[in-house]
Amino acid sequence: MIRVLIAGLGNMGLSHALAHHKHADAEIVGLVNRSGEVGHEALQSYPVFTDFHAALTETRPDLVVIATYTDTHAAFAIAAMEAGTHVFVEKPLGATVAEARAVVAKAEATGRKLVVGYILRHHPSWVRLIEEARALGGPYVFRLNLNQQSDGPTWEVHKALMRSTSPIVDCGVHYVDVMCQIAEARPVRVHGMGLRLSDEIAPKMYNYGQFQVVFEDGSIGWYEAGWGPMMSETAYFVKDVISPNGAVSITDADKGASDDVDGHTKVGGLLVHRPGGDRLIDLPDEPGHQELCDAEQAYMLRAIAEDIDLSRHMSDAVESLAICLAADESIRTGRVVELGGDEQR
When pLDDT is cut at 50, 70 and 90, the band that residue 342 belongs to is very low
- Where among 61, 82, 117 does a domain terminate? 117
Which of 5-19, 27-41, 246-260, 287-301 is predicted least confidently?
A: 246-260
Chain-centre distance for alpha carbon 241: 19
> What confidence score (pLDDT) does residue 268 get?
81
Contact status, residue 63 vs residue 2, Cβ threshold 8 Å: yes
Residues 183 and 225 in one domain: yes
pLDDT digits (tens, 9 = 90+) for 283-325: 888 899 999 999 999 999 999 999 999 999 999 999 999 999 9
When pLDDT is cut at 50, 70 and 90, the band that residue 281 belongs to is very high
In a domain, 44, yes or no: yes
In a domain, 345, yes or no: no
pTM of the full predicted structure? Answer: 0.91
Q: Give the total number of structural domains in the chain.
A: 2
The DSSP annotation for 17-55 comes to: HHHHHT-TTEEEEEEE-TTS----GGGTTS-EES-HHHH
Q: Look up residue 26 and give its amino acid.
A: A
Return the CATH number at 93: 3.40.50.720
Separation CA 23–CA 4 (nearest Å): 11
User: Percent helix, strand, coil in the chain (nearest 5)?
Assistant: 40, 25, 35
Residue 125 has pLDDT above 60, yes or no: yes
> What confidence score (pLDDT) does residue 261 get?
56
Average pLDDT of every residue of the chain? 93
- Which domain range does residue 264 map to? 124-290+322-338
> What confidence score (pLDDT) does residue 330 get?
97
pLDDT digits (tens, 9 = 90+) for 211-240: 999 999 999 999 999 999 999 999 888 999
The DSSP annotation for 155-203 comes to: HHHHHHHTTT--HHHHTHHHHHHHHHHHH-S-EEEEEEEEE---TTS-T
Q: What average pLDDT does the segment 130-150 reach?
A: 96
Separation CA 6–CA 25 (nearest Å): 15
Residue 80 has pLDDT above 80, yes or no: yes
Q: At what angle do helices 172-183 and 311-333 cross, to 10 degrees?
A: 120
Separation CA 81–CA 7 (nearest Å): 14
Separation CA 214–CA 230 (nearest Å): 30
Burial class (CB in 10 A: 0-12, 13-18, 19+), 188: middle
> What confidence score (pLDDT) does residue 344 get?
43
Return the CATH number at 143: 3.30.360.10
Residue 345 has pLDDT above 50, yes or no: no
Residue 343 has pLDDT above 50, yes or no: no
Q: What average pLDDT does the segment 82-100 reach?
A: 97
Percentage of the chain with pLDDT > 70? 94
In a domain, 69, yes or no: yes
When pLDDT is cut at 50, 70 and 90, the band that residue 200 belongs to is very high
Q: What average pLDDT does the segment 157-178 reach?
A: 93
Residues 146 and 273 in one domain: yes
